[in-house]
Amino acid sequence: MIQFEMYPNWVWFLIFCTLPYVMFLYLRSKRWRTKKIEEAGDINLIRHLFSSISFRKRKIKTLLILSALLMGLIALAGPKYSDETVEIKREGVDILFLLDVSNSMLAQDIQPNRMEKAKLEIKKIVRNLKGDRVGLVIFAGQAYLQTPLTLDYAAFELLLDLVSPNMISVQGTSFTEAISRGMSSYETEENGNEHFKTMILISDGEDHEGALDEITKEAKLNHVIVHTVGIGSARDTPVPQFNKDGKAQGYRKDRNGNIVTSRLNMLDLIFIAEETNGISVQIESGNGDLNLITDSIFNMDKKSFSAKEFVNYKEQYHWFAWLYFILLLLEMSISDYEKRLRSWEGQLIE
């Protein structure tokens, strides 16, 4: 396992912008030299005058300098390596986020839109967790497991950022599909202690399927608490339409040519939360407090499980530092002077 030093963002910016900037300066100076040589006179005469210089060796020297610079940047990044793992015992809750990705979640009554606001709220919750596993189910007319339960919060956020309505072809909104897919994503416990499973369902509440009685009873029977978050406003909001490049192209229209609108419907969300002993929260106009949900999760029974982690990372920067100095020494030891025998075939004119 390889990792690097935890520098501030501006340090990483300086490190990884140095090499492209040097390349830019090199190409610019090369273009400038070529232009000046062409302006100096006859190109064949100039080449004859420079016949004692090996341009092949000059390219090798340039390549050595750039390679040395790259090794120096890697050394500055502070690479570390470890192949030693230990088993860490943890206690936590299994949390599944059920995120509505139907087209109505693109409505912009909350800026920049409902879906992006939902992603932001999910990230806030995840960044306050310690030892809890998180997973992600995306749903519209169908539901899919986007991220299995994991302790890798960085990977979870990366996959969360990729979520869009285009990932599910069957549109609509089905809470039944989402909760059912979520319950099948949990691991079966042999000891019967299953009071550490919870879901957080985030949607604008426009369920097009109905029939929530059976799925909520099943969730309660399996000790799964479903918290719900309604996101959006209660007023009709037009649903924007985007092209393949992500640019807005007006609003969606139905078969009759009328603009499709969406409004927050909390009734089904409140019903789901009440039936599964969860909490229902509404986020409208960018305002909303999910602390009630996070506090409830923190007070839940914890599951004990183990995970392997890499330990005893050893510094590896010195290898790249040595390569840096060796490449510089090689560059300095190579001369671009081309040794050639010269013969004067001219005639002395008095």
Residues 6+ apart with CB under 8 A from 118: 99, 100, 105, 202, 229, 231
For 114, 189, 217, 220, 245, the CA distances from 223, given in Å and listed in that order, are 30, 12, 10, 5, 43
Q: Which residues pair with 163 in a beta bridge?
A: none
For each of the domains in the chain, give its residue range(s) and CATH number, in order of start: 2-82+313-333 (no CATH), 87-307 (3.40.50.410)
Closest C-alpha to 226, from 96, 114, 125: 96
Q: Which residues pair with 162 in a beta bridge?
A: none
Query: What radius of gyration, in Å, describes the C-alpha atoms of the chain?
Result: 31
Exposure of 263 by Cβ count < 10 A (0-12 exposed, 13-18 middle, 19+ buried)? Answer: middle
Q: What backbone phi and psi angles, to 5 degrees, belong to 193?
A: -85, 95
Q: What is the pLDDT, as a whole number, of residue 190?
A: 47
Residues 6+ apart with CB under 8 A from 133: 92, 93, 94, 95, 149, 150, 151, 305
Q: What is the pLDDT, as a whole number, of residue 12?
A: 73
In angstroms, how far is the first alpha carbon of the chain from the final one?
78
Residues 6+ apart with CB under 8 A from 285: 109, 110, 233
Q: Is the peptide bond before 112 cis (omega within 30 degrees of 0)?
A: yes
Helix (H) or strand (E) holding 36: helix 9-40
Per-residue pLDDT of the chain (350 residues; tens, 9 = 90+): 777 776 766 677 777 787 788 878 878 887 887 777 777 666 666 666 666 677 778 788 888 988 998 888 888 888 888 777 776 667 788 999 999 998 888 888 888 889 999 999 999 999 988 888 999 999 988 999 999 999 889 899 999 999 988 888 777 788 999 999 999 988 765 444 566 889 999 998 866 666 789 999 999 998 899 999 999 888 888 888 877 666 777 787 877 778 888 888 899 999 999 999 999 999 886 566 788 898 888 888 777 666 666 667 788 888 999 999 999 999 888 887 766 555 555 544 44
Q: What is the pLDDT, as a whole number, of residue 191?
A: 47
Q: What is the pLDDT, as a whole number, of residue 41?
A: 66
Closest C-alpha to 206, from 239, 183, 247, 182: 239
Q: Are 47 and 37 in contact (CB under 8 A)?
A: no
